[in-house]
Chain A
Amino acid sequence: MSIELTQPGCELLSAQPVVIKNVKNYFHIHTYGGLSPFFAGLREGKLLGTRCGNASCEEQRIFLPPRTHCPDCLSPSVWVEAPTVGEIYTHTEILYPGAGFKLTTPCPLISVSLEGVCTKMMSYLKEGQPRIGMKIKAVFNMEHPTHTILDLAWVPA
């Protein structure tokens, strides 16, 4: 009995120095864990943030992106619906994205300012030309969800 290769070998790209092409093809199983309500919410057209569950904590504003625990007092958070109308805090246009980007380019990238929310989450503008201060509203990709942050986008309000 002799031991044989069961997979193709590496392609030789250069003889001197010896350079080979090592092809990878694998996946990760990723959990959203305690942040799952946010991603489950997107499928139902809901924008869920979190608020500190400790009434005596100084920070009572909404966090979005959500946090399972308050960063100030480490109390467990409670889930609340965040406003779905806000304005653009800043923006750019992605022209040359990195590998794995799933949207068409040029893609307007935005940071979103929402009333009562102490953070300014990153997202994208699905329609229109962004400018700072522009009023926008949330839209949800519920038809063919990607189960990623790409299922949330914004359009002019």
Chain B
Amino acid sequence: MIKLGPGNLRIPKFEKPVYIVAAGQTDFRKKYPEKTTEELCIEAFSMAALENDLKVSLSELKRMVNFCVYSQFADHFGDQLLAASKIHDALGFDPLGNIEVKTGGATGGHSVLAGALAVASGYANCVPVVGFERMDEVPTRQGNAYIASAACKNFESELGWMYTAYYALMAQRYQYEHKVPRETLAKIAVKNHGYAVSSPFSQNPMRITVEDVLENTLVSDPLSFLECCVMSTGAAVLILADEETAYTITDQPIRLTAICSGTHTLRTADRRPMEVLRLPHEPEDLYKNYQHDWPGFSSFLAARMAAYLAYHMAGIKNPVEDLDILETHDAFTISDIQTYEDIGLRPYGRGREFIDSGECYHGGKLPTNLSGGLIGSMHAVGATGIFQINEIFWQLQQKWAKFHADPRMWERYGKTKPADFENLQVKNARRGAAISHAGTGSHVTMAILEKV
């Protein structure tokens, strides 16, 4: 039994407020041989510096920077150790200090956390967070084996060399405990592939139906190809600043009111049952009669821990009421349902209601993954957590259309704006959240952004 002490549950605090001032990214592709990783990062940084209506020039912005954070999941993929050093040089930031963060699929979220800690403490006042992944050097099967090297090499990796199989184990157990219909899981894939249609950045846009998903080839029972995230190459950048610096750079900074981290055992196998950690809006007796092991294989303690800390830190009393927009780490349809419960959108066992009620759609109470998410748009792992926050940032600035609706954005990536394009700007969005997630829930961050 894991017992949390009062010190373990101390609510994090920033000494100084932290703001996001600019965001930029490339489009995301299965293969991107036209550009080196350095070129992709320069492109994402240039978009952040030049296309966010900043009050300073690119050169002025660069001269304000005093620390950098780099986000890359796996050296295996890029086949270049110390890749961050090449990116840092390519961006012309030498001799400024930098760090590279590595926490699997949650590397993007933790990189933003690292940058926020630097700003919040006063260590730095302007910090670019640069995420990238080059996953196109190896065939997909080898890529899956590389990703599965982030499972336990002694006791797990050999059993499939495939994360989808590890998530499928969770899916089967979740379905056994909570009887979620396959149709509900399929709806998540339909939604996220569908929202990807309206993003010029997306790799896997599709108009599909629930039947298409149910009839799709299985990777690992019950998960089909359409229910799994893409493998991408691309980059994403955001720039953090303290208050004074933020208002020197832009008139529209968005405040990062919280970014908190939780973890759990790398091996799902090792998760011993414990008492449910309750979120601020969950009544004391909510789980008194809960029939199943918690977190078991159906829930992510890491996500619950991150949400617990972030909600308290940002003063969120009820996520569905208090948040206007959300990006989850929808690596697989099953993990998305699990996450809805972990972050308290519904009590444990009832995550499907968040989909079935329609709240998760554009126009609903809490639109989720309007970016297309990892299933529809991208999973260039080191860039992913940053991409998610970028999309929320533009939504809160009411600038989503500028980056998605302009036909020139589509032409930039050799695409044509589709006839069935939808305007996915959430009107009057004031507060948003993004979940970055690793392993089968080994590391999770939750970021909360708020319009000033």
User: Chain A residues in contact with chain B, CB under 8 A?
Assistant: 14, 17, 19, 22, 30, 32, 35, 58-59, 63, 65, 89-102, 107, 109-111, 118-124, 132, 148-150
Contacts and interface: CB of A to CB of B under 8 A. Distances in A.
**Top 6 closest A-B pairs, CB basis?**
A98-B161, A98-B144, A92-B168, A90-B173, A98-B145, A93-B221
Given A98-B141, A98-B144, A111 B159 contact: no
A110 B270 CA distance: 14
Nearest to A14: B33
B155 A122 contact: yes
Interface of B: 1, 33-34, 79, 137, 139, 141-145, 147-148, 152-156, 158-162, 164-166, 168-173, 176, 217-222, 267-272, 297
A123 B166 CA distance: 11
A122 B267 contact: yes
Contacts of A118: 272
A100 B144 CA distance: 10
Given A102-B158, A122-B159, 11 more contacts: A22-B79, A32-B154, A58-B1, A93-B221, A95-B218, A95-B219, A96-B141, A98-B145, A98-B161, A107-B160, A111-B269
Given A92-B221, A99-B139, A109 B144 contact: no
B161 A132 contact: no
A109 B269 CA distance: 13
Contacts of B79: 22
Contacts of B271: 119
Nearest to B137: A22
A150 B154 CA distance: 10
Nearest to B145: A98
A97 B165 contact: yes
B173 A132 contact: yes
Given A90-B169, A94-B162, A119 B145 contact: no
B34 A65 contact: no
A65 B152 contact: yes
Contacts of A121: 155, 269
Contact of A95 (B144, B154, B221): B221
Given A32-B154, A120-B269, A98 B160 contact: yes
A100 B161 contact: yes
A17 B33 contact: yes
A132 B172 contact: yes
Contacts of B170: 90
A119 B266 CA distance: 13
A111 B293 CA distance: 15
B162 A98 contact: yes
Given A92-B220, A119-B269, A122-B269, A97 B161 contact: yes
Contacts of B166: 122
B162 A96 contact: yes
A90 B176 contact: yes
Contacts of B160: 94, 97-98, 101, 107, 109
A48 B8 CA distance: 33
A110 B141 CA distance: 22
Nearest to A28: B153
Given A90-B173, A95-B220, A98-B144, A122 B297 contact: no
A100 to B, nearest CB: 5
A110 B170 CA distance: 10
A107 B152 CA distance: 19
Given A17-B34, A19-B33, A92 B145 contact: no
Contacts of A93: 168, 218, 220-221
Contact of B159 (A19, A30, A90, A123): A123
Nearest to B142: A99
Contact of A98 (B142, B152, B155, B267): B142
A89 B158 contact: no
Contacts of B168: 92-93, 109
A94 B297 contact: no
A102 B162 CA distance: 12
A99 B169 contact: no
Contacts of A100: 145, 161
Contact of B220 (A96, A123, A149): A96
B141 A99 contact: yes
Nearest to B152: A65
Contacts of B1: 58-59
Given A101-B160, A109-B160, A119-B270, A149 B218 contact: no
Nearest to B166: A122
